[in-house]
Structure 1
Amino acid sequence: MSKTGKTGFGPAISVIILAIALLWPSLINGEPFYMTDTPSYIRAADAGVYKLTGLESPWTNEFHDRYSASPKETASTAVGSQATLTDSKDDAPVALAGRSIFYGAFLYLAQIFGNFWLAAVLQSLVVGVAIMLTIRAFVPEENGVSSTKRTLAIGLPVVFLSSVAFFSGFLMPDIFAGLGLLSFVHLAAFWGRQGTAERLFWLVLLLAAMLFHNTNVLITISLLAVVLLGNVTKFLQIGWKPILAIVTSILLSFAGQSVFYWGVTKYSGNAPVMPPFLAARVISDGPGYQYLEKHCKTEDHKFCRVLDFPVINHDQLLWSKAKDEGFFQALPNRERREIAAAEKAFVLDVFLEYPIEVLAASFRGFGTQLVTFNLPNFNYNDKQKNQFQDKIPGVLFGSQKQSAAFKNTMPTRFWEISTFVVSGVALLFLLGFLYRNFRQPGRLGRTATFSLLIVIGIFANAAICGALSGAKGRYQMRLVWVLPLAAASLLPNRQWRKEVIQPAE
């Protein structure tokens, strides 16, 4: 099979049409979609720009509010006491890990025209390229069937019947979960038939996905473990060049996160803090609460305060600012750092005492995540609206109030159902295709390897998100669109039955 080469304007035309189609929810809404976390991404990047250059933007006001008295300033006014310096450092604002400054920088740069349309357009263009390359990987150009018409005949139904278009216009890194998964499987399955430009596209996209969100790193590492095991057992035959390239991307993502940690520590005096997601998870699921009921009578645990809460809910535990509901966001900065530092030991103690219960709860979360298909983030509730009013600069909030999502008129129900149906049908098709391949002797071919890794990636996402944060529609909907894309791309390939024993390159 020859490598991808120059094929005229057909691919570019396909990408442009797909990108325009992907903008349909944002066009109906009147602007791209926000989430309450969106301002946190932008403000983190804005704070970095302000510290480095002194340039201010409408987002800088919160930086001034939070850091109006830095640790050094506080210390200098307190008679030079070392104790005061330590206290002021501990009480300094908490910078959260997990909110990628790299994606924040992307949004920050995308608002150069005073709004976020550029972000939606760029994300849609990248998704359009990924869809086009996926379809063309299954329908080679030299067979005369990878025309613009064929690409659009497969790509447009995926755009209009799945969740992908919603997340292309979502001002969150969610769309990069599916793009990261596609990047990995393309590199692993089709490395030998790709040209340099295509390899570079997938490698950069994989790196971006991992820099933009930590769960994408976990999914990538999970898939890498499957590939290595498949190679060792000779079930798969994936060359060491793509494996080395993927490992390099993982290491670069670690390096990028290290630079972020170093920068925050240097300029704020404190390392970023990862919210105690696992502690909230085990408490909300039950085992952690049981552990506290048993041990708080005789031992002093940082999490014992939850026993006095009237309601135990994972999200409330983390993000509620009410002290009778939350054990993290509701606390002073010093205590938030202490809670985060105590998480690992607490979760380990809970697991050692209630291993079956913890595993059972994780499995329930995994199963629930697999079947959770909804789009609640695309019509804003009252709580979200109040948070937007507090966090979003006035000119942007004024525009947001005119959006369909703000008025709760954004149509989503049809696409919740259609995504469930097309994804379910696609999954069954891919599983049937894999079953036929597994019955054949020899190693899996390229197409079967691609399909296998796609399915495993979907399940890995559900396991990771369901266990760490609990089942939420957006965790599933952000990447499940790759299932119908893979299945629909596979259908026209008349040669797939002959590729069963053809090794992946």
Structure 2
Amino acid sequence: MRIAETEAGVRSTPRGPVLAWIAAHGIGALLLTWIALANGYPLLFSDSGGYLRVATEFRYLLDRPITYGLMIAPFVRLLGLWSVAGAQALFATWLIGQVLVAVTMRRSAVMLIVTIAVLAVSSSLPWFTGQVMPDLFTSLLALTLYLLLFAPGTQLRVWLLAAVATGLIALHLSHIPLAAALIVTGGAVLFWQDGGRAAVRGVIPALAALLVAILGLCTVSLIVVDSFRPSLESNQFLVARTFDGGIGQPVLARICRTETWRLCRVRGFVDDPRRPQPGQDYLWAADSPRAPLEIASPVAFRAEEGAFARRVLHDDPGGTLRIAVLGWRDQLIDARAADGMVAYRPRMLLVQQIHRYFSGTGGAFDTSRQQRGVLQRLAIAPDRVIALLMSLAAPVFLWAAIRHGDRRMTALVVLVLVTVVANAAICGILSGPADRYQSRIVWLLVLIGIVGVERCGRTLSGRARSLDTRHDTRPPESRTTPAFP
């Protein structure tokens, strides 16, 4: 394939067979749903019940954005849960294809299929494409911002990507600080590559996407619950974090000696030495006193949780810093695939939603691998080991990209590494380490490994062609060496 280089330094590529490119997306989407297909039902997490309730009953969620529930509502209402898994897999395939085109400067159906196939068998990606949860879109947000900042294309494409980024940021509260970190990093890379004006011009659409997403979430909360903030109950996770880290209990004890707080009623619960994670039990355990306290006085109790989180930070800044650093460290390595893919009891909201609104597939759900407790047997790929190896190889890919002036590959490696580090910080510090938080994005390391190997291979191939040309004794006009892609 001959590829010509434009004056701007970006190599243009022929359009290629459209049907082959479309077929590659269909094959890729099928490959990314293999775990859901093997399960016999789309994958579900405990929080899926809340999002399904948004889609089926248009209920407002107090502790997280309702954006994902609204997004999947047309799919689940018209086509069922399988359409959600299929649409997510197709979108992930399309976005990966766009990144491959942006970095390699060529549209190859074969490379797209090979890339998706490698990701499907060696990474955590298929555990999230087939899952009715917004976690997939954390990594896809990073790829979308990469395209918006470093491969924007036409003005129409810029604003389409900005619109997609806006929607992705609004899907999860952790996406707000992650997007901010990626935009700052992307702006710094653009400044290094092209100077200040180009950096400012490049980050404006991304910043607009971030601001619109935040304003949109706050506006929805203002309309529904009369509170101009992205989420109403985020403080409960901070409180749980202090209890899990062991720094909240002493502060609560001091408060309760002289003051009367509703939280004083949870002292015996969180001080129980039989609870290895008292904070998580405070949030989710059936016998937690939190739910009755919130039901009795929801507004006052949520305000008290916020005041308590601030009090812990004021009284024990060193302890707060310690659990933050430890949480960040642990989250960097906690990335086991299939986390949370367990069987659910009939009384849970998730199961009730399935049998009430998707009764036609209730039998398939009940007999799925997940409900039989055997789904995690499919988590046999050494995805964490592979991701670790790719993280060790990432500096090599970055050095090679910088050395050869491969601007887009340089930016891709930088943004993926920032995504890995920032996601670990956001989730490990604010929510506490959990395998699913980091598992949702470490497949990006495998992606840059695939692209890095391809770029190195084509560089070596280009050098070999150059060497052959140097020793070619034929007249220049008789040679037919293609341009370096």
TM normalised by structure 1 equals: 0.78
Cα deviation, 1:429-483, whole Å, max 9, x if unaligned, reads 1123335677x79x99332122111101111001101111111111111121111
Q: Relative to 1, partners in 2 of residues 1:371 and 1:276: Cα closer, same or farther, differing over 3 Å? A: same
Q: Which amino acid aligns with 2:163?
A: V
**SS at 2:368 equivalent:** coil
Q: Relative to 1, partners in 2 of residues 1:295 and 1:466: Cα closer, same or farther, differing over 3 Å? A: same
Cα deviation, 1:206-260, whole Å, max 9, x if unaligned, reads 2221111111111001222334455678898763233001011112212321332
Whether the aligned pair in 2 keeps the contact of 1:30 and 1:404 (CA below 8 Å) is yes
Query: Structure 2 unaligned runs (5+)?
Result: 1-9, 463-485
Query: Using the alignment, how far apart are the partners of 1:383 and 1:17 within structure 2?
Result: 35
Query: Using the alignment, how far apart are the partners of 2:80 and 2:222 within structure 1?
Result: 31
Query: Structure 1 unaligned runs (5+)?
Result: 49-62, 64-94, 499-505
**Deviation at residue 378 of structure 1 after TM alignment:** 5.9
Aligned residues between the structures:
438
Cα deviation, 1:473-501, whole Å, max 9, x if unaligned, reads 11111121111112211221247799xxx
Greater shift, 293-302 or 166-175, is seen at 293-302
Alignment match of 2:389 (pick from 425, 431, 445) = 425
Residue aligning to 2:26: 16
Instruction: Tell me whether 1:96 sits opposite 2:61 in the alignment.
Output: yes
Q: Which amino acid aligns with 2:64?
A: R
Q: Relative to 1, partners in 2 of residues 1:18 and 1:376: Cα closer, same or farther, differing over 3 Å? A: closer
Query: Using the alignment, how far apart are the partners of 2:395 and 2:21 within structure 1?
Result: 30
Percent identity (aligned) = 22
**SS at 2:373 equivalent:** coil
**Deviation at residue 42 of structure 1 after TM alignment:** 2.5
Query: Using the alignment, how far apart are the partners of 1:198 and 1:335 within structure 2?
Result: 48
Instruction: Tell me whether 1:343 sits opposite 2:305 in the alignment.
Output: yes
Query: Using the alignment, how far apart are the partners of 1:172 and 1:4 within structure 2?
Result: 36
**SS at 1:331 equivalent:** helix
Query: Using the alignment, how far apart are the partners of 1:427 and 1:384 within structure 2?
Result: 41
Cα deviation, 1:263-294, whole Å, max 9, x if unaligned, reads 31379xxx944451111111221111121123
**SS at 2:293 equivalent:** coil
Greater shift, 369-378 or 156-165, is seen at 369-378
Residue aligning to 1:375: 337
Query: Using the alignment, how far apart are the partners of 1:159 and 1:303 within structure 2?
Result: 46
Q: Relative to 1, partners in 2 of residues 1:259 and 1:377: Cα closer, same or farther, differing over 3 Å? A: same
Q: Relative to 1, partners in 2 of residues 1:187 and 1:496: Cα closer, same or farther, differing over 3 Å? A: farther
Aligned positions of 1:94-493 closer than 5 A: 95-113=60-78, 115-141=80-106, 146-191=107-152, 194-195=153-154, 198-200=157-159, 202-229=161-188, 239-265=199-225, 272-274=232-234, 276-309=236-269, 310=272, 311=275, 312-322=277-287, 325-327=288-290, 329-377=291-339, 379-381=341-343, 383=345, 386-394=348-356, 395=359, 396-412=361-377, 414-415=379-380, 417-435=381-399, 445-493=407-455
**Deviation at residue 44 of structure 1 after TM alignment:** 2.6
Q: Which amino acid aligns with 2:50?
A: S
Whether the aligned pair in 2 keeps the contact of 1:373 and 1:420 (CA below 8 Å) is yes
Whether the aligned pair in 2 keeps the contact of 1:14 and 1:132 (CA below 8 Å) is no
Q: Relative to 1, partners in 2 of residues 1:158 and 1:3: Cα closer, same or farther, differing over 3 Å? A: same
